[in-house]
Amino acid sequence: MLVSGEDLIKNRPPVSRGILTISTIEQEDLFVIGDVHGCVDQLGELLHKLPLGPKSAIVFVGDYIDRGPSSRQVIELILELRRYHRVFPLLGNHESLLLDFIDDPTPLKRARFTYNGGGATLQSYCVESGEFSIPPEHVAFFRSLSLAQQTSSHVLVHAGLPDLPLDAIRLQEQRDTLLWVRGTFHRSTFDWGKTIVHGHSRVPKVHIDPRRINVDTGCVYGGALSAVHLPSLRTYRVPMRAPVTHEYLREPAPSRRKAVRFPGRVDVRLSEPEGLPLFHTLNFNDFGVLLACSTESDSFVLSVHQEVAGTLLPDDERGNVDFRGVVVRVEGAAPPYQYAVQFHAPATVEE
> H/E/C letters for each residue in 162-192?
CCCCHHHCEHHHHHHHHHHCCHHHHHCCCCC
Length of the chain, in residues: 351
Domains and CATH numbers, the chain: 6-239 (3.60.21.10), 262-343 (2.40.10.220)
The pLDDT of residue 131: 87
> Residue 343's beta-bridge partner residues?
325
Its pTM stands at 0.91
Residue 77 clears pLDDT 90, i.e. is over it: yes
- Cα angle 290, 257, 261 (rounded to 5 degrees) comes to 45
Identify the sign of the CA torsion 82, 87, 90, 94: negative
pLDDT band at 24 (very low <50, low <70, confident <90, very high): low
Residue 6 clears pLDDT 50, i.e. is over it: no
Residue pair 64/74 in contact by the 8 Å Cβ criterion: yes
For 275: left if phi > 0, alpha if psi spans -120 to 50, otherwise beta; the answer is left
pLDDT band at 36 (very low <50, low <70, confident <90, very high): very high
Mean pLDDT on 77-106: 96
pLDDT (tens digit, 9 = 90+) per residue, 288-318? 999 999 987 778 899 999 999 999 999 988 8
289: nearest Cα among 299, 302, 300, 298:
302
What is the 3-state secondary structure of 270-306? EEECCCCCCEEEEEEECCEEEEEECCCCCCCCCCCCC
Who wins on pLDDT, 27 or 318?
Answer: 318
Who wins on pLDDT, 46 or 333?
Answer: 46
Residue pair 65/71 in contact by the 8 Å Cβ criterion: yes
Identify the sign of the CA torsion 9, 12, 18, 23: negative
Lowest-confidence pick of 25-39, 197-211, 221-235: 25-39
pLDDT band at 18 (very low <50, low <70, confident <90, very high): very low
Give the span between the Cα atoms of 153 and 27, in whole angstroms: 11
Give the span between the Cα atoms of 147 and 136, in whole angstroms: 21
Who wins on pLDDT, 244 or 10?
Answer: 244
Identify the sign of the CA torsion 110, 112, 115, 120: negative
The pLDDT of residue 7: 38
Q: What's CA 106's distance to the chain center, in Å?
A: 17
The pLDDT of residue 19: 37
